[in-house]
């Protein structure tokens, strides 16, 4: 009986675990992500955009229509019912909340409204390798500016973000297309540009978006009746006619390294479609603006295979692709591909206001971009670990903290050990922190106004050759005793080699 009671009264201890698809991000990852975001912010600021932060939760009906599955508006989001019985959802991206913000504040904001933002977004989807249910996006958008001029500027922003992130011009490319061109091809192929044809058009867009992964044969199957993958799962197709499939596949291969040549090919392909010709004219205007500002075809190209999977794009679309030759440990090429993109979405704000509100934007996934930069060796070194000031005598705490403040004023990271344990344990802590230098101040040093600075990395190397305690005491490897006022100066000299 007592044993049973003891079992019943045992305190509940939850298991330490994470939900699938949600990742902890340690210091080195957060530093790299912050570095990339700040690089992007510097570009957005230079182009005159302003920061904005929207909440993580929105009303579900503000997001629903523009999730990837338009016919299943609440699939893909994390939702809950509030105490007033209204459904709230974690934001799926940063664009739909921006549309809500603009609509809600329309009369009080300047138009065009130019904003940038970064933050976590959430996808209620099956997680997998490299596919998370929470990740960070970084966006810039212009709302209230129609025409290709704003689109051309957004394309320039994408290319400049790549440069700001540390990439050379031959390590990336911005690839541009126009949804109106595909609309013209589909229109000529008998697929109506109406609400009735919206689901079929979305299937066509998603099929083309898989061209790199599935190849022409796989996409041809998805444009037709459907396709069974290697696992046996079957994906229903867009049910286009053979002529329409031929036209769509011909459109996806119409690109040429020369932007002028591509424009000529596209003009012929869309024929008499007014919408298709409008798309060609928009690309021509973008081409002229890019030429005028020095964005040549080595940085920005026209590529008709780019469609972007989301259904809300209405005009020019583009992707930022990384081109560097990266190999895995076995020397096999690793293709990174698209790490961001954007385009024109003129219908998103109009959902709230019932009137046309043009918009265009650029977005990239921060973690994916950082991973690519690390593989390419384009990330700068991580932050220097802190100098550890060890604690010999707790009565000297004011001295320790005063010295730490002086080191920080000199531009060095510095930490006073605030845990418990003797100096040996403190140096083990320094090793686990990756600290390269430790400052030792006992009562004798404090009285003499001195410190002992220990180069931990060099000391570890030197210690390998020392066999006895007597040799250790005689050598006192890689450490130097100096006046306390020279602490920062000497540490900087040690850092310099």
Yes or no: say if 81 and 75 are a contact pair by the CB < 8 Å rule. Answer: no
329 secondary structure, DSSP code = T
Tell me if 16 is assigned to some domain. Answer: no
**Rg of the chain in Å (alpha carbons):** 29
**For 390, which DSSP code?**
-
* pTM greater than 0.85 (yes/no): no
We report the CATH number of the domain holding residue 144 as 3.30.930.10
pLDDT computed for residue 69 by the predictor: 47
The verdict on 105 and 160 lying in the same domain is: yes
Could you say which of 349, 375, 401 is where a domain stops?
Answer: 375
Contact status, residue 184 vs residue 277, Cβ threshold 8 Å = yes
What is the SS3 assignment for 261? helix
Q: How many domains, the chain?
A: 2
- Assess if residue 18 is contained within a domain: no
Q: What pLDDT, in 10s, does the model give residues 394-451? A: 999 999 999 999 999 999 999 999 999 999 999 999 999 999 999 999 999 999 999 9
392 and 327 in a common domain: no
For residue 265, being part of any structural domain is answered with no
Would you say residue 408 lies in a domain?
yes
Q: How many CA atoms lie within 13 A of 242 on its CB side?
A: 0
Examine the domain organization and report whether 36 and 95 are in the same domain.
yes
**287 domain residue, yes or no:** no
Last residue of a domain, one of 375, 409, 436: 375
- Asked whether residue 346 is domain-assigned, the answer is yes
What 3-state DSSP class applies to 287? helix
Q: Are residues 31 and 166 in the same domain?
A: yes
What are the structure tokens assigned to 70, written together?
Answer: 């338009």
What lies within 8 Å, CB to CB, of 405 at 6+ separation is 414
Cβ–Cβ under 8 Å, residues 154 and 361: yes
Cα–Cα distance for residue pair 247/265, rounded to 1 Å: 13
Nearest alpha carbon to residue 348 among 170, 143, 145, 175? 143
> In terms of C-beta density within 10 A (0-12 exposed, 13-18 middle, 19 or more buried), how is residue 457 classed?
middle
**pLDDT by 10s per residue, the chain, length 497:** 555 555 567 888 999 999 999 999 898 889 999 999 999 999 999 999 999 999 999 998 888 644 444 444 456 888 888 888 888 999 999 999 999 999 999 999 999 999 999 999 999 888 877 788 999 999 999 999 998 999 999 999 999 999 999 999 999 999 999 989 888 877 776 676 666 666 777 777 778 778 777 888 888 888 888 888 877 788 888 888 888 888 788 888 888 999 999 999 888 888 778 888 999 999 999 999 999 999 999 999 999 888 776 567 889 999 999 887 777 677 777 677 789 999 999 988 888 888 889 999 999 999 889 988 888 777 776 678 999 999 999 999 999 999 999 999 999 999 999 999 999 999 999 999 999 999 999 999 999 999 999 999 876 665 454 445 555 444 555 789 999 999 999 999 998 87
Same domain, 310 and 408: no
Say yes or no: 471 and 347 in one domain. no
**Same domain for 351 and 481?**
no
CATH number of the domain enclosing 403: 3.40.50.800
Confirm whether 38 is domain-assigned.
yes
Dihedral (Cα; 484, 489, 490, 493), 10-degree rounding: 180
Residue 209 lies in a domain: no
Considering the domain architecture, whether residues 100 and 132 belong to the same structural domain is answered as yes
Are 333 and 475 members of one domain? no
| Residues 123 and 143 reside in one and the same domain | yes
Residues 368 and 431 in one domain: no
Give the residue numbers spanning the domain of 354. Answer: 27-170+304-375
Q: Are residues 69 and 139 in the same domain?
A: yes
Average pLDDT, the chain: 86
**DSSP codes of every residue in 68-132:** S-TTSTTTTS-EEE-TTS-EEEE-SSSHHHHHHHHHHTGGGS-SSEEEEEEEEEE--S--BTTB-
330, 353, 375 — which closes off a domain?
A: 375
């Amino acid at each position: 009986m007592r044993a049973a009671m003891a079992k019943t009264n045992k305190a509940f201890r939850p298991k330490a675990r994470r939900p699938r698809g949600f990742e902890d991000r340690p210091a080195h990852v957060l530093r790299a992500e912050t570095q990339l975001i700040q690089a992007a912010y510097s570009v957005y600021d230079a182009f005159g955009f302003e920061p904005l932060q929207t909440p993580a939760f929105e009303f579900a009906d503000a997001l629903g229509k523009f999730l990837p599955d338009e016919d299943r508006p609440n699939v893909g989001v994390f939702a809950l019912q509030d105490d007033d019985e209204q459904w709230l959802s974690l934001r799926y991206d940063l664009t739909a909340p921006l549309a809500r913000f603009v609509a809600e504040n329309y009369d009080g904001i300047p138009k065009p409204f130019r904003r940038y933002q970064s933050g976590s977004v959430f996808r209620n989807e099956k997680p997998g390798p490299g596919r998370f249910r929470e990740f960070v996006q970084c966006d810039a958008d212009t709302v209230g500016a129609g025409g290709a001029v704003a689109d051309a500027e957004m394309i320039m922003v994408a290319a400049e973000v790549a440069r700001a992130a540390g990439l050379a011009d031959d390590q990336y490319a911005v690839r541009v297309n126009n949804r109106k061109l595909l609309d013209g091809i589909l229109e000529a192929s008998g697929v109506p540009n109406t609400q009735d044809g919206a689901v079929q058009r979305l299937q066509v867009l998603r099929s083309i978006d898989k061209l790199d992964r599935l190849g022409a044969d796989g996409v041809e199957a998805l444009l037709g009746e459907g396709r069974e993958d290697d696992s046996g799962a079957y994906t229903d197709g867009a049910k286009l006619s053979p002529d329409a499939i031929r036209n769509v596949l011909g459109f996806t291969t119409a690109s040429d390294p020369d932007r002028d040549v591509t424009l000529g090919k596209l003009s012929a392909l869309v024929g008499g479609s007014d919408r298709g010709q409008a798309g060609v004219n928009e690309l021509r205007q973008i081409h002229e603006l890019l030429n005028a500002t020095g964005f040549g075809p080595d940085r920005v190209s026209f590529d008709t295979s780019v469609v972007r999977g989301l259904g809300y794009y209405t005009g020019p679309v583009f992707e930022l692709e990384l081109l560097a030759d990266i190999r895995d440990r076995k020397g096999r090429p690793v293709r990174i591909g698209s790490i961001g993109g954007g385009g024109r979405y003129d219908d998103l704000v109009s959902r709230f206001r019932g009137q046309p509100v043009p918009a265009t934007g650029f977005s990239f996934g921060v973690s994916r971009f950082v991973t690519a930069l690390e593989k390419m060796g384009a990330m700068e070194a991580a932050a220097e670990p802190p100098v550890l000031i060890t604690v010999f005598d707790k009565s000297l705490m004011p001295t320790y903290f005063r010295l730490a403040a002086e080191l920080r004023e000199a531009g060095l990271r510095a930490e006073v050990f605030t845990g418990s344990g003797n100096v040996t344990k403190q140096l083990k802590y320094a090793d686990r922190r990756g600290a390269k230098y430790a400052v030792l101040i006992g009562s004798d040093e404090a009285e003499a106004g001195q410190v002992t600075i220990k180069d931990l990395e060099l000391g570890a190397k030197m210690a390998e050759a020392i066999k006895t305690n007597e040799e250790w005491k005689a050598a006192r490897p890689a450490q130097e005793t100096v006046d306390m006022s020279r602490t920062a100066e000497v540490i900087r000299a040690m850092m310099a080699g």
